[in-house]
Amino acid sequence: MSTPQFYDEGDLVAVLTTQPLDRALDYKAPEGGCHLGAFVEVPLGPRKVLGVVWGPGKGDYDRARIRSVIRVLDAAPMREELRDFLRRAADYTLTPMPAMLRLATRAPGLGDPPSMRKIYRRGTGEPRRLTDARARVLETLAGYGDLSFTLRELAEMAGVTPSVVKGLVEQGAVAEEDSPRDLPFARLDPSLPGKDLTPDQAAGAAQLAAAVGTQSYGTTLLRGVTGSGKTEVYLEAVAAALAAGRQALVLLPEIALTAEFLTRVVERFGAKPAEWHSGATMTERRRIWRMVGQGQAQLVIGARSALFLPFQNLGLIVVDEEHDTSYKQEEGVLYNARDMAVLRASIAGSHVVLASATPSLESWANAQAGKYTRLELTSRFGPAVMPQMRAIDMRTEGLPSDAWVSPTLKAEVDRRLELGEQSMLFINRRGYAPITLCRACGHQIGCDHCDARMVEHRFLKRLVCHQCGESKPMPEACPSCAAEGKLAPVGPGVERLGEEAARLFPQARIATLSSDLYGSARALKAEIEGIAQGAADIIIGTQLVAKGHNFPKLTLVGVIDADLGLQGSDLRAAERTFQLMRQVAGRAGRADKPGTALLQTYQPDHPVIRSILAGDEEGFWSAEAKERSQAGVPPYGRMAGIILSAPDAALAFDTGNMLARQDGPLRAIGAQVFGPAPAPIARVRGRHRVRLLVKADKAAPLQDALARWIGQVRVKGDLRLAVDIDPQSF
Ligand code: ADP
Ligand code: ZN
């Protein structure tokens, strides 16, 4: 590895900060000089801000007025590879560089002074002479049990100078230790024996290991039904990367980061990997960020933001459940972690494994086109076979209103209860009921700030807006006509389905799994682990349960409303429904018992429902590909959304109309613009949102044209403009 370029004291350097400025600013290198990529603190007006040395200064300012870098921070300089990734990700998503840099500097305490490197706790020795000041330090420590503090914290709490604490350290009365942020991770050992792989799995593992061994970029689409052993196979790719002395990153949808998964990693490599997710503590994040940067964390298991960690020598990125829509970040910087993983890997010379039972059409098309290598695991591990899938034709079930479990489904659940097997009832709706209706005046309670209905959450005893999170107590009287006692729930949510199940199956142990019902991700994980051990007979859940959990005793899955995703005009609806139904069905019959999946539907002849039932994936994908390519939409064409939002709908619409008229830069590349129209989420937190959709040929230079086009609007005052490349819905 080459050492980065060095700037001597007084040299002009350009420093990129996370402040919303449109360029990197010139500073003088500090005393002692600094490296290209160094994390620094610089003065900006009256403030000190964090920045990264981005290159040589431009020198187009009055040299006398240029200020100096205040100090170089205690962190390895950002490598060329990561800076390049940020630049290219910014170009692709049309994101300003400062916002991009923010994603890569989200480690808390990056600007920690060197004093943060040590922590202090009560030692075993006694001070030789107990002055007042020394006594205060020891009393302070005694009051906090086994906690430790930084030097400054401890001195401040005790009301002494740091030298008093240092004196106690010399005498052994206070112990000085390395801060946990500098604790390395235990070594993972890739040479431990893995499981005995089936011939199919072994061939796949060998193929991936060889790809990782080339130490150059490539992407493999690893497709295999749920339970076929995709995880076992890609863990061998991880082993290959570690054995070659390179780092590996496994991305999972946030919720799939379970203890069960970690246990498997520990079994394979003999030690725990670094876990980067929203629930991690500050200290842990600080530690991971630093250790990844020093190459001391060999394997990171993380949610999408782990892509921006400062890997030194990244050999492999796995994106598990690559089709999962939660990889798309929908706020702030709009990016799809799956696509950004491929970009980062192509710059770092790493291999990418995209794993899924039901790949996104984008990845499927890339594999068809030969850009990705295909790897298929065709059978489930061991005796487990894919569940039998059948439709329940709801038109003939004679179900009363306010009931959702058909007699046919009930009989199947009863049978599982007798056999001591688990059943799952799946409904993709959180809360108690999606609509709260006044039976006196017909009013439906909506959110005051969004264009969405309020959803009753009986467990919380509140109405909640799923768009903006706003909630209010369930009212007694109708907010529109003031009639009392007339508000009624309409339609089922997961909580209400739980009630119905309790009525239908009074003897059963029922577990309702929905993110709302658990205070923390940790509590939810604990519940899921309990269920896997057999602590419930019936599992009722939302999309949460469709993701990557192993329930060995589960043999029946009942989908309450298979038609739910097919409504609406979204061109991706069919793909979503297909993936979700296959994933849910894949929960059943994982161990030695065959499973059954029953889909309650009012449209058993719908082409999507039919291909789900037939299990004809290739057929489904080809048909879907044909439709999309005829429409010229992704992955066969390119799309971008421009979202204009303002408290005043007219301002957003007027700006949208102006853009639609001045479409010269788009026409120049043969792109079309549609809209403005209300965005899929038309009002959020009191802001009206208007969307323009741009459609272009696959080869057209879309980003350039978009930049020129939106450059015509001055975004000021209450107006906001966001670019959404490759929008999720179109
Ligand atoms: P997928 O990721 O495709 O859903 P997994 O890798 O999770 O599949 O495998 C499903 C289950 O089968 C897991 O419990 C796993 O430990 C087990 N399994 C898969 N392959 C093997 C093998 N070769 N030896 C032992 N157990 C295996
Ligand atoms: Zn709202």
**Contact at 8 Å (CB) between 439 and 480?**
no
Distance CA 168, CA 125 (A): 9
Kindly report which listed range (266-270, 476-480, 504-508) carries the lowest average pLDDT score: 476-480
pLDDT at 694 over 80: yes
For residue 218, the model assigns a pLDDT of 96
Mean pLDDT value of segment 348-370? 93
Structure tokens belonging to residue 132: 């007042």
- pLDDT bucket at 246, cuts 50 / 70 / 90: very high
Domain 637-725: which CATH class?
Answer: alpha beta
| Number of neighbours of residue 253 by Cβ within 10 angstroms | 21
Look up residue 244 and give its two tokens: 């070659």
- Residue 201 Cβ inside 6 Å of ligand 1? The answer reads yes
Does the pLDDT value for residue 256 go beyond 70?
A: no
Kind and range of the H or E element at 514? none
518: pLDDT confidence band, cut at 50, 70 and 90? low
Ligand 2 centroid to residue 721 C-alpha, Å: 20
**Which one of the ligands is nearest to 448 CA?**
2
| 468 marked as binding residue | yes
Helix or strand holding residue 721 (H, E) = strand 720-725
Which atom of ligand 1 approaches the CA of 198 most closely? 23
Q: Which ligand is nearest to the CA of 681?
A: 2
3-class DSSP state of 216: coil
325 CB near ligand 1 (under 6 Å): no
Ligand showing the shortest atom-to-Cα distance for residue 449: 2
Tell me if residue 241 falls in helix, strand or coil: helix
CATH 3.40.50.300 fits 199-377, yes or no: yes
Is the CB of 231 within 6 Å of ligand 1? yes
Q: Is residue 478 part of an annotated ligand binding site?
A: yes
Span 235-243, average pLDDT: 96
Classify residue 402 by its DSSP letter. T
pLDDT band at 314 (very low <50, low <70, confident <90, very high): very high
Q: If you classify domain 388-432+491-625 with CATH, what class do you get?
A: alpha beta
Strands 422-426 and 538-541: parallel
Please answer whether residues 462 and 365 qualify as being in contact, where contact means their C-beta atoms are separated by less than 8 angstroms.
no
**pLDDT at 92 > cutoff 70:** yes
Half-sphere exposure of 40 (CA within 13 A, CB side): 32
pLDDT at 324 over 70: yes
Least confidently predicted of 67-76, 167-176, 347-356, 467-476: 467-476
Q: Where in the chain is the domain with CATH 3.40.50.300?
A: 199-377, 388-432+491-625
Structure tokens at 188: 């993972």
Q: How far apart are CA 425 and CA 395, in angstroms?
A: 19
CA angle 338–342–346, rounded 5-degree value: 165
| DSSP sequence for 277-316 | STTS-HHHHHHHHHHHHTT---EEEE-GGGGGS--SSEEE
Cα of 680 from ligand 2 centre, angstroms: 14
Q: What pLDDT is recorded for position 1?
A: 47
**Range(s) for CATH 3.40.1440.60 in the chain?**
6-86+97-105
CATH of domain 116-180: 1.10.10
Question: In the chain, which residues fall in CATH 3.30.70.600?
Answer: 637-725
Q: Residue 411 in 3-state DSSP?
A: helix
Residue 459 Cα to ligand 2 midpoint, Å, equals 19
Question: Tell me, what's the pLDDT at 357?
Answer: 87
pLDDT, average across residues 265-276: 92
Phi-psi region of 140 (alpha: psi -120 to 50; beta: other; left: phi over 0): alpha
pLDDT value, residue 185: 84
Pick the CATH number of 6-86+97-105 from 3.10.180.10, 3.40.50.10420, 2.160.10.10, 3.40.1440.60: 3.40.1440.60
The set of residues, in sequence order, having a beta carbon less than 8 Å from that of 328 and lying 6+ positions away, is 334, 335, 336, 337, 728
* Beta-strand relationship, 454-457 and 462-465: antiparallel
Q: What confidence category does residue 579 fall into, taking pLDDT thresholds of 50, 70 and 90?
A: confident
Is pLDDT at 113 greater than 60 in this prediction?
Answer: no
Q: Where in the chain is the domain with CATH 1.10.10?
A: 116-180
**Please, which residues bridge with residue 336 across strands?**
328
With b for 16 or more beta-carbon neighbours within 10 A and e for fewer, the 437-464 pattern comes to bbebeebebbbebbbbbbbbbbebebbb
Q: What is the pLDDT of residue 665?
A: 92
Question: Which ligand is closest to the CA of 451, given by its number?
Answer: 2
Nearest atom in ligand 1 to the alpha carbon of residue 201 is 23
Residue closest to 643 by CA, chosen among 689, 711, 696: 689
What token pair was written down for 170?
């010399």
For the segment 434-468, what is each residue's pLDDT rounded down to a tens digit? Answer: 888 999 888 998 888 777 788 888 877 888 887 77
**Tally of residues, the chain:** 730
Q: Give yes or no for a contact between 344 and 307, defined as CB atoms under 8 angstroms apart.
A: yes
pLDDT, tens digit (0-9, with 9 covering 90-100), for 141-199: 887 766 667 787 788 888 898 889 889 988 888 888 777 666 778 889 999 988 899 99
pLDDT digits (tens, 9 = 90+) for 367-418: 999 999 999 987 766 655 667 889 999 999 988 888 999 999 999 999 999 9
Q: Provide the whole-model pTM.
A: 0.81
Task: Decide which of 511 and 146 is more confident.
Answer: 511
Average pLDDT in the 668-673 region? 92
5: which DSSP letter?
P
> Which ligand 1 atom lies nearest to the CA of residue 224?
3
SS (H, E, C) 322-388: CCCHHHECCCCCCCEHHHHHHHHHHHHCCEEEEEECCCCHHHHHHHHCCCCEEEEECCCCCCCCCCE
Phi-psi region of 154 (alpha: psi -120 to 50; beta: other; left: phi over 0): alpha
Task: Tally DSSP H helices, then E strands, for the chain.
Answer: 20, 31
Look at residue 284 and tell me whether its pLDDT is greater than 70.
yes
* Model confidence pLDDT, tens digit, residues 21-51: 888 999 999 999 999 999 999 999 899 889 9
ipTM of the predicted structure? 0.95
Percent of the chain clearing pLDDT 70 (strictly above): 92
- Ligand 1 proximity of 194 Cβ (cutoff 6 Å): no
Contacts 24+ apart (CB under 8 A), 122-130: 122/173, 122/174, 122/175, 123/168, 123/169, 123/172, 123/173, 123/174, 123/175, 124/172, 124/175, 125/171, 125/172, 125/173, 126/171, 126/172, 126/173, 127/168, 127/171, 127/173, 128/171
Radius of gyration of the chain (CA): 29
> Annotated binding residue at 34?
no
Closest by Cα among 28, 56, 49, 30 to 101: 49
Bridge pairing between strands 47-56 and 71-72: unpaired
Tell me the average pLDDT of the chain: 86
Find, among 496, 425, 500, the residue nearest to 456 by Cα. 496
More confident residue, 585 or 539: 539
Q: Which of these, 136, 207, 201, 208, lies nearest to 174 by C-alpha position?
A: 136
Q: State the SS3 of 432-473.
A: CECEEEECCCCCECECCCCCCEEEEECCCCEEEECCCCCEEE
Tell me if 232 CB under 6 Å of ligand 1.
Answer: yes
Q: What's the token pair of residue 680?
A: 């899929």
Structure tokens at 506: 């009074």
Query: Of 4, 666, 79, nearest to 349 (Cα)?
Result: 79
- Residue 225 C-beta-side C-alpha neighbours within 13 Å: 20
Q: For residues 544 and 226, give the distance between their C-alpha atoms in angstroms, rounded to a whole number.
A: 16
Poorest-confidence range of 65-69, 87-91, 156-160, 656-660?
156-160
- Model pLDDT, residue 202: 94
Query: For the residues of 148-188, what is the DSSP string, one character each?
Result: -B-HHHHHHHHTS-HHHHHHHHHTTSEEEEE-GGGPPPPPP
Least reliable range by pLDDT among 208-217, 345-354, 575-584, 627-636: 575-584
Sequential DSSP letters for 664-678: HHHHTTT-EEEEEEE
Residue 362 token pair: 């984008």
H or E element that contains 189: none
Asked if 375 and 207 count as a contact pair (C-beta separation under 8 A), the reply is: yes
Distance from residue 517's CA to the centre of ligand 1 (Å): 30
Cβ contacts of 516 within 8 Å, gap of 6 or more: 430, 431, 457, 459, 460, 464
* Average pLDDT of the segment spanning 540-568: 78
Residue from 444, 543, 433 nearest 489 by CA: 433
Within 567-637, where are the H helices? 573-585, 607-614, 617-631
- Ligand 1 pocket, residue 224 CB under 6 Å: yes
What does the angle CA 387 – CA 550 – CA 263 come to, to the nearest 5 degrees?
Answer: 150
Give 544's DSSP letter: G
226 C-beta closer than 6 A to ligand 1: yes
User: Closest ligand 1 atom, CA of 195?
Assistant: 24
